[in-house]
Structure 1
Amino acid sequence: MPLTRRTLLLTAGATLLPTPSLTQTLAPDVAERLTLGHQAGLLDGLHSVLVLQNGETALEAYFPGTDENWGRPLGTVDHGPETLHDLRSVSKSITSLLYGIALANGDVPPPEAPLLDAFPQYPDLTEDPARASWTIAHALNMTLGTEWNEDLPYTDPANSEIAMEQAPDRYRFILDRPIVTEPGTAWTYNGGCTALLGYLIEQGTGQRLDAFAQQALFTPLGIDTFDWNAGPDGTISAASGLRLTAPGLARIGEAVRTGNDILPQSWLDRCMTPQTQTSFGLGYSHQWYLGRQPVPATGDWKQTLFAQGNGGQRLYVIPDLNLTAVTFSGNYNTDDQWLNPTLVLRKIVLAGIEA
């Protein structure tokens, strides 16, 4: 995935990387629209935008801004194509891909397997019939039916993911939450589910999650720069700790879009088939969201597979348009954190598609 490195400096410290002189279906003024939107304050906190179409760079821009590393302030960062950025919960979707690779290698039990069979250290939990009925698919699709609250800010120790990170035994904390709905009947956003997947991968492969990711996914895709934060107990945070560059995340999106020898097609097919529905109406499958996005030029809506993270992090894959898009922002824990990626995708990228 060659990316041009010549830069054109714009106002307010923005950096726009020009695209190759190839046939594009994006209008030639999309970069100007993006820059003007940022200058007008409509995209406050936006750090990076990278759009690939037909495997080529269609739009790439970076903006300086205040950032942090998993809650630790970094001050003002001059973002660029080599800058690592928090993915937050986009990490969940990457962990799903790693589980799919491990599954194809025979290293982890299949989704249909009983979940608690992988946790024999907690024999008391199997005494509860509801917990005994759990399969790994319940964790993959966040339908365990347990009490879990991540609606609180991630600065609040009562937030369930933060409480998990601080717990003396994170896995018992996850598995021992009170059952509030019948397993498999309702989706509840739950980073603990992803932590369970990380555990399965580590136990099955005999590698730390970050080491397996490097060996099985990142290096084969040409991603040589990444970081993956660990909790106080030294356990890699499968749910939210990964940091990648925008081009690195785009490489993963392209692999999902096109399919290759690295990502098993059978797993991608699973991820693209809705298994449940979120509380806000989107389809959900194996740690990925599924929805539709409007394309004004064609007058219809395109199926979209995407990953999203706190602060405005997004990876969009729209197969019908041969399009992959990445957005990074620094609007962590804000009520309008969804705004930047939505405006960039709908009002700039998709509105710029030419019929």
Structure 2
Amino acid sequence: MGLTERVDAALDAGRAPGMHGLVVLRDGQVVLERYGAGPDHRLDEPLGHVVFDRDTLHDLRSVSKSVVGLVYGIALREGLVPEVGAPLLASFPECSPAGREHLTIEHALTMTLGLEWNEDAPYTSAANSEIAMELAPDRHRYVLERPVVEEAGKRWHYCGGASALIGEIITRGAGRPLAEYAADRLFGPLGITRYEWSRGDDGVTRAASGLRLRPVDLAAIGQLVLDGGRDIVPRSWIEETLRPRVVLDAGTRYGYQWYLHDGRAQAIGNGGQRLLIAPDDRLVVAVTAGEYDREQSSAEAALDAVLGR
């Protein structure tokens, strides 16, 4: 059974009921597109029942983090941001909490800050650290002033605040909002003209979760990574980004804002948002879904069908 037959069989059998969009590229060409329908949200804003097609923007949630990681590499080449080994606090001179002088930008890129952070609570609750960050008077101070709970660089701990810090370093270095810089240096060269990137009440781009793209444009970003950056993102940065740096579990590692498993790279977002790069199969797979804050089985079913596993 071929790729298209496998995917259609899975969809017909109802194995991906929450899937909103699926785009598969092989060798840089679209070989499959499928779109669904269902209730959707723009972060916490209900959008009602949406019938999706190629031109419908969709929340990427934490896939945004992986995009921010790529943008950092562009800004680094332009000399706008510090090298990854630079002290993190040097980029935030207005905030110098004691006991964090050892932290580097790389600790943020790899989510190994060693600071207290909990995103296990629903993303509608202030008990969730990312939501608490959004509600704080100064989001970056909120992150940097979290209590130190372990040695930095030793253990991965999921932290949207780390991505917020990376986004702010880009903003300060570029002298303009993260969303504007990303549109100019990443989206524009890829021909991506339609996007949204939400901002907090403080006007700051939500680096950790606020990007909305069409699935076909998300796939284009994945193809860029598979192609080694095509000089939009430096090849050397792509290589560093996808180099395993910290262990998550027996089979999964983490690079710079990307998950790495079995020779594949993946960006993952709440609700079933996925961007999978499979070099050995010459495939890029973008999935969007609406299973926010619950089991995200539709994306996994779609990926299983594409990969024949």
Normalised-by-shorter TM-score class: over 0.9
Deviation at 1:281, TM superposition (A): 5.0
Q: Secondary structure at the match of 2:261?
A: strand
* Equivalent residue, structure 1, for 2:129: 160
Which among 285, 304, 322 is matched to residue 255 of structure 2? 285
Which among 284, 301, 304 is matched to residue 343 of structure 1? 301
Contact 1:311 1:329 (C-alpha < 8 Å) held by counterparts? yes
Q: Secondary structure at the match of 1:308?
A: strand
Normalized against structure 1, the TM-score is what? 0.84
Q: Secondary structure at the match of 1:120?
A: coil
Which among 97, 100, 112 is matched to residue 143 of structure 1? 112
How far apart in 2 are the matches of 1:265 and 1:207?
Answer: 25
Which among 10, 29, 32 is matched to residue 59 of structure 1? 32
Residue identity in the other structure for 2:173: G
How far apart in 2 are the matches of 1:340 and 1:117?
Answer: 42
**Quick check: 1:49 aligned with 2:22?**
yes
Deviation at 1:194, TM superposition (A): 0.3
Deviation at 1:351, TM superposition (A): 1.2
Contact 1:153 1:159 (C-alpha < 8 Å) held by counterparts? yes
Deviation at 1:341, TM superposition (A): 2.0
Q: Secondary structure at the match of 1:331?
A: coil
1:248-296 per-position Cα deviation (integer Å, ceiling 9, x unaligned): 101100000012010100110011111112257520011000002xxxx
Deviation at 1:39, TM superposition (A): 3.4
Which among 326, 330, 333 is matched to residue 293 of structure 2? 333
Q: How does 1:63-78 map to 2 (within 5 A)?
A: 63-78=36-51
Which among 160, 169, 192 is matched to residue 223 of structure 1? 192
The alignment covers a number of residue pairs equal to: 308
How far apart in 1 are the matches of 2:112 and 2:70?
Answer: 19
Structure having greater relative contact order (Cα 8 Å, sep ≥ 6): 2
How far apart in 2 are the matches of 1:38 and 1:226?
Answer: 27
How far apart in 2 are the matches of 1:108 and 1:280?
Answer: 34
1:150-174 per-position Cα deviation (integer Å, ceiling 9, x unaligned): 0111011110000000100111100
User: 5+ residue gaps in structure 1?
Assistant: 1-26, 293-302
Which among 190, 196, 205 is matched to residue 165 of structure 2? 196
Residue identity in the other structure for 2:246: T
Deviation at 1:233, TM superposition (A): 1.1
Percent of paired sites with the same residue: 47
Q: Secondary structure at the match of 1:219?
A: helix
How far apart in 2 are the matches of 1:32 and 1:282?
Answer: 29
**Quick check: 1:133 aligned with 2:102?**
yes
How far apart in 2 are the matches of 1:134 and 1:191?
Answer: 16
* Equivalent residue, structure 2, for 1:208: 177
How far apart in 2 are the matches of 1:33 and 1:198?
Answer: 39
Deviation at 1:50, TM superposition (A): 0.6
Deviation at 1:344, TM superposition (A): 1.5
Deviation at 1:323, TM superposition (A): 0.8
Residue identity in the other structure for 2:267: A
Contact 1:187 1:279 (C-alpha < 8 Å) held by counterparts? no
1:26-48 per-position Cα deviation (integer Å, ceiling 9, x unaligned): x54x3343334233322111111
Which among 295, 310, 323 is matched to residue 283 of structure 2? 323
Contact 1:312 1:331 (C-alpha < 8 Å) held by counterparts? yes
Q: Secondary structure at the match of 2:190?
A: coil
Normalized against structure 2, the TM-score is what? 0.97
Which among 114, 126, 140 is matched to residue 171 of structure 1? 140
How far apart in 2 are the matches of 1:266 and 1:251?
Answer: 19
Which among 67, 75, 82 is matched to residue 102 of structure 1? 75
How far apart in 1 are the matches of 2:5 and 2:122?
Answer: 35
* Equivalent residue, structure 2, for 1:4: none
How far apart in 2 are the matches of 1:104 and 1:262?
Answer: 10
Structure 1 runs of 4+ with >6 Å offset: none
How far apart in 2 are the matches of 1:142 and 1:279?
Answer: 15
Q: Secondary structure at the match of 1:220?
A: helix
* Equivalent residue, structure 2, for 1:266: 236
Residue identity in the other structure for 1:341: A
Higher mean C-alpha displacement, 190-199 vs 52-61: 52-61
* Equivalent residue, structure 2, for 1:233: 202
CA RMSD after TM alignment: 1.3
How far apart in 1 are the matches of 2:249 and 2:89?
Answer: 26
